[in-house]
Structure 1
């Protein structure tokens, strides 16, 4: 298995790779004792492993911690012809879990939380516990979907190339945009998800075709979360505009025995906005398994 060291301010995770469907996919491995627990962290749409940079190191005393770049995201290979969307990302996640050789605590944020729900429903034997971070059951609110649909039309096709790292920083936007991150933290996140090309130009590590998965895959039905039997934690950002209090409470009722917790001082991007309380909520939940 190929790997190389990547230094961060908090710790030094290892870049690792595995193959699925002929694609070389990337994940970060922060280490930890797999005999205790194994955490697999899933990012949201258009994001990458570095959404977890401030949460993952806090979890390593409780087990091995890895974060996956879905195909077409981060350092993972692009799919050609395009094969994206939840079914493909479920396959990526399942293959990673198989390669780790352990039942996992599956933690998914946003789109990653939707994928985590599907994996838990279809492959419960792989999952020790499920943690869904600010992700709805089923599609996001209608207005949010319409906004994303417009963005898919206007940003599809080839990946835009930018002249400099400074232009990467200027172009970078979170979606939804609300966040507690400082300007410097946003700049660091932008550069963590970008690369300099051989031509000298810069570009984001992201395949624009991932936005158009529905034209190839069509609609998906909701996973039957009422069938979930494993311990489940639902986390919602206190100020989230994507997952309403009513919606997450409904999820809580459907998943028998699930735990619901709100993360203070957090919008939709919970692992970025309040990593300390996010990790603390996960640790409190894991201690009771």
Structure 2
């Protein structure tokens, strides 16, 4: 039974996307098992570029389940769980460099070793840019979607006022007696209006059960070591900046990042009416922008 048959409010395009099942896999990167999912290209030879989709903080690869299949008409598309998130293993500490290495390792595991397009939402956009800096021979195009941008002065101010530590954010997850109880407590950060059928899907993929009960699928300590300024991709990498009108990306900083690429390798668009979690409230508008960046013309 399809999603539209169980819930008539679900539009056909979304149900069809979820019915396009990815292939799931895992690989070990620096002693942590990383989970990923792949949608293979469905139409002819298509575009040789592969795409990796990177979720934001406290999220998981399933946030892209309705986006990946759409892009997979003409591209091989991969989404993965950053370590400390989703079905990937936790680490003792997290850095953007290590997440960037996970990204490139996942791409290589599915046969994408160059000409890689990376699309990152929120914190995932920072991971995408870091991957372009660390692996310029692999990453040729980056799209950041409403990523909060920090410079060295921002980091210094945060450290001065006390950066998050594992004593402030206990690592032990909060647990619930039932799955329904956990899902009833699901919240976005920042909170915003979303399309309920998409929110329900990502929420369902956000909980798991262990021997102590139901818990969220992320390590609450992951922000404690993330104190690096925003990296800037090298000139060899194109940069597309997608800002949500009501999101967290400061418009002046987005413009400054765009203007810093005087060679014309950067683009900047604002999605009207969108909140920070763009794929949950403006998914078709986001898809249109991604297709434009990719040079695709899909109906």
Give the TM-score taking structure 2 as reference length: 0.81
SS in structure 2 of the partner of residue 278 of structure 1 = helix
Q: Is 1:85 matched up with 2:95?
A: yes
SS in structure 2 of the partner of residue 252 of structure 1 = helix
Change (3 A) 1:152 1:47: farther
Provide the C-alpha distance between the structure 1 equivalents of 2:167 and 2:188, rounded to a whole number of angstroms.
Answer: 18
Provide the C-alpha distance between the structure 2 equivalents of 1:17 and 1:207, rounded to a whole number of angstroms.
Answer: 19
Provide the C-alpha distance between the structure 2 equivalents of 1:235 and 1:41, rounded to a whole number of angstroms.
Answer: 14
Who is 1:281 aligned against?
289
SS in structure 1 of the partner of residue 72 of structure 2 = helix
Q: CA deviation at 1:148?
A: 11
Deviations 1:195-234 (A, max 9, x none): 12245x21111112213225xxxx3244244x43322211
Who is 2:257 aligned against?
251
Give the TM-score taking structure 1 as reference length: 0.84
Who is 1:165 aligned against?
179
Q: Is 1:233 matched up with 2:240?
A: yes
Q: CA deviation at 1:250?
A: 1.0
Change (3 A) 1:154 1:204: same
Q: Is 1:66 matched up with 2:78?
A: yes
Matches within 5 A, 1:141-220: 155-182=169-196, 184-198=197-211, 201-214=213-226, 219-220=227-228
SS in structure 1 of the partner of residue 275 of structure 2 = coil
Q: CA deviation at 1:244?
A: 2.0
Change (3 A) 1:224 1:191: closer
Who is 1:76 aligned against?
88
* Residue in structure 1 matching 2:276, options 245, 252, 268: 268
Q: CA deviation at 1:127?
A: 1.4
Provide the C-alpha distance between the structure 2 equivalents of 1:249 and 1:61, rounded to a whole number of angstroms.
Answer: 32
Q: CA deviation at 1:45?
A: 0.8
Equivalent residues of 1:136, 1:248 under 8 A apart: no
Equivalent residues of 2:149, 2:230 under 8 A apart: yes
Equivalent residues of 1:228, 1:255 under 8 A apart: yes
Q: Is 1:103 matched up with 2:112?
A: no
Q: CA deviation at 1:23?
A: 1.1
Q: CA deviation at 1:152?
A: 6.7
Equivalent residues of 2:84, 2:222 under 8 A apart: yes
Bigger shift: residues 269-278 or 97-106: 97-106
Deviations 1:162-201 (A, max 9, x none): 111111112211111123232x5433322211112245x2
In structure 1, stretches of 5+ residues that fail to align are 1-6
Equivalent residues of 2:126, 2:230 under 8 A apart: no
Equivalent residues of 2:195, 2:281 under 8 A apart: yes
Who is 2:50 aligned against?
38
Bigger shift: residues 31-40 or 54-63: 31-40
SS in structure 1 of the partner of residue 35 of structure 2 = strand
Provide the C-alpha distance between the structure 1 equivalents of 2:56 and 2:159, rounded to a whole number of angstroms.
Answer: 14
Who is 1:3 aligned against?
none
Q: Is 1:118 matched up with 2:130?
A: yes
SS in structure 2 of the partner of residue 124 of structure 1 = coil
Provide the C-alpha distance between the structure 2 equivalents of 1:247 and 1:195, rounded to a whole number of angstroms.
Answer: 37
Provide the C-alpha distance between the structure 2 equivalents of 1:141 and 1:57, rounded to a whole number of angstroms.
Answer: 37
Q: CA deviation at 1:130?
A: 1.1
